[in-house]
Amino acid sequence: MNLLPPAAVMYRAIADRDRSFEGIFYVAVRTTGIFCRPGCPARTPQERNVEFFASIAACLQAGYRACRRCRPLEADPDAPPWLHRALGMAEHSLDRRLSAADLRSAGIDPVQATRYFRRRYGLTFQAFHRAMRMGVGLREIRSGATLGAAADATGYESESGFRGAFVSVFGAAPSRLAAAPDAIFRALWLATPLGPMLAIAGNDGVAMLEYVDRRGLPRELERFNRRHPRSVIPGSNHHLERVAAWLARYFAGDISEPDVRLHLEGSPFQVAVWNALGAIPAGATRSYGEVAVSLGRPAAVRAVARAIGANELALLVPCHRVVGVDGSPTGYGGGLWRKRWLLEHERTACSRQPTLQIGDRLLGRPSAVSEPSA
C-alpha cells in the first residue's frame, strides 16, 4: 500500500482524470457510497463529499462499493481468468455467505483465490465478501434502516448474528456508528521505508502511530480498545491524510514540524514528558536524565523512561531522539535498527536544510492515570 499524497493533489488528480495516480489511491464519494479509480470518467464529485483511501480493502471496510464505470476491482493487468467470475459471485451473493464449495462449483480453486485476494486486496476471498456484505449493512443503517432491516439486507437470520459480523469487520457496533459518528476512530495502514505503520485518528487528532511489527502493538491496541471500546473502524479522515502526507515528506528528507494535530491520552506527567520530547530539535538528542532535568524532576529518570515507553505516537512524538547517557541508542520499541536509521536520517537532513522545533504543537489531554513515581 502506498502513502497517500496530499488531499489537494489527489482531488486535482481526479478532476483531471489523471491515470498516473492509478494504484496510488482510491476516491470514495460519501453521497453515492461508491469508490473509484483516479481516472474514472464519471462526473467529478464535490471536494467536500470525497474521502481518499490507500487500498481497496480500506474502501470496502469503510462501507463503499466499487464503481461500475471504472471497475477498480478489476484494474489488474495480471488478473487470473477466474477473477471476473469470483467478483461476480461476491457481488451477486450479498444476501448469503460463500464457502469454499461455492468457489469449487464455479471452477475456482479456493486456495488460489485466497492467495490472490490477500495479495491483491489485502483480504482473503471470504473476508472480502464479508466486507462487501457489511458495506451493504452500513449503508442501510446510515440511511435510517433498523438493525433488523440491515440484517435482512445482508442475509443474516438474526440481529445478533449481524451485529457480531458487523463488529468483526468494522470494530464498532452498528448502533455506535449510526448514533455517534463523532466518537469513531479511523484506522489506516501506511507504508514507509521502515516498514508498515498503523495510524489511528478521531475527530480530535491522531491517537496512535506505530510500527505494525512492534512486539508491544497488540497490548497497545488492547489498552486503546479499553479506553475507546468498539470505536475503531478501517478508513481515513483529514488527520490521517495529514499524517500520510507528512510521512511522505519526512522520509523524503523534509524533517520540518508535522502539521498534524495529536490526541494525547495519559497522566499529566506522561503528557509533560511527551511535550518535552517534542521540544527536542530534529538532528539533536537528549539523554533520559536531561529530559528529567528539563521537567524539574532530576531524580525521575526511571519515570521518564516509563513515560517514553508508553508513547503511542512514533515519529510524531520523537522518542527516538532520547539516547543513553553515553549517547548510544537505547530502548526503542520499534527496534534499535530503526532508531539508528532515524537519527542518521535526521542528521543528514539537517545538514542540508534548517529545521523547526516542535514544542508547542502537542495538545495533550491528561487522563485519570496516576502520575508515576520517581
Residue boundaries of the structural domains of the chain: 7-181, 182-374
Neighbour-count burial for 80-94, b at 16+ CB within 10 Å, e otherwise? eebbeebbebbeeeb
Return the minimum-mean-pLDDT range out of 2-16, 235-249, 296-310, 325-339.
2-16
What pLDDT, on the 0 to 100 scale, is given for residue 360?
39
pTM: 0.54
Mean pLDDT of all residues in 280-295: 95
User: In which band, very low, low, confident or very high, does the pLDDT at 356 lie, cut at 50, 70 and 90?
Assistant: very low
Which one has a higher pLDDT value, 356 or 89? 89
Say which range, 67-71, 170-174, 259-263, 354-358, has the weakest mean pLDDT.
354-358
CATH number of 182-374: 1.10.10.10
Q: Which three cell numbers stand for residue 250?
A: 519526512
pLDDT band at 144 (very low <50, low <70, confident <90, very high): low
Q: Which of 261, 150, 118, 289 is nearest to 201 (CA)?
A: 261
- 151 pLDDT band, cuts 50/70/90, is low
Q: How confident is the model at residue 170 (pLDDT cuts 50, 70, 90)?
A: low
Owner of C-alpha cell 508547542:
360
Model confidence band, residue 218 (pLDDT cutoffs 50, 70, 90)? low
Residue 213 has a pLDDT of 73
276 pLDDT above the threshold of 80: yes
pLDDT of residue 272: 96
Q: What is the DSSP string of 264-327?
A: EEE-HHHHHHHHHHHTSPTT--EEHHHHHHHTT-TT-HHHHHHHHHT--BTTTS-GGGEE-TTS
Which residues are 35's β-sheet partners? Answer: 28, 66
319 is catalytic: yes
> Per the residue annotation, which of 59, 70, 319, 350 is the catalytic one?
319
- Model confidence at 109, in pLDDT bands (50, 70, 90)? very high
CATH 3.40.10.10 fits 7-181, yes or no: yes
Q: Residues 193, 195, 196, CA angle at the centre, nearest 5°?
A: 115
CA-closest candidate to residue 331, choices 299, 295, 304: 304
**What pLDDT is attached to residue 176?**
60
Note the pLDDT of residue 195: 80
End-to-end CA gap in the chain: 43
Please report which confidence band the pLDDT of residue 257 belongs to, taking 50, 70 and 90 as the band edges: confident
pLDDT band at 46 (very low <50, low <70, confident <90, very high): very high
Q: pLDDT tens, 258-271?
A: 889 999 999 999 99
Contact 36, 72 (CB under 8 A): yes
Percent of the chain scoring above 90 in pLDDT: 38
